[in-house]
Amino acid sequence: MRPLRGSRDHPHVRILLFLTLPLYALDQVTKYLVLRFIDPYQPPEVIVRDFFSLVNVTNSGAAFGTFANNNAFFIALSFVALVTVIFVLLRRGPSDIWRRCALGLLLAGILGNLTDRLVHGHVIDFLFFNLHVRFADPFPAFNVADSCICIAVFCFIIHSFCEERGRAATVTNAISRDESNLRDGR
């Protein structure tokens, strides 16, 4: 397969180079540091008292530890998601920035957690917040890859609202134009 002419300047390649890869690297470096310096059997490293700590927690399941001990299933699911996101990002290529960024973030998150599952047999979580609100007291530990996935979902939601608003405006303009043509006898 021939590389695209000026492929480094292609918007989808820029997303990979300047968003996905740096976030993936940040995820892996922070997890390496956690494994190296934070003992999972010691109390959390308090950063902001009663609010934020660093921990070394493993997760063999999905979000919030659900579906624990299903690593093989999540590896397969991650591969399917990875191939799908890469295909959408590089093949069809979304035209708007929200969707491109969402796909880039999603790719970073998938790669980060998939790497953990393949290398360690589980995902490493280390960011631990106590939000002092019901059902999130404390909030389950998470990592940079999880954050990328959550922010990607937020970007997809914004994209869908913007796209819906654009469609509504197009329909409204078409109706107004048709009404105007009817009045003018066209």
Is residue 31 within 8 A of residue 124, CB to CB? The reply is: yes
Which run of H or E residues covers position 178? helix 144-184
Kindly report each contact of residues 37-44 with a partner whose C-beta sits within 8 Å and lies 24 or more positions away, as own/partner: 38/126, 44/128
3-state secondary structure of 21: helix
d(CA 111, CA 108): 5
Residue type, position 161, single letter:
F
Q: Which residues are catalytic?
A: 125, 146
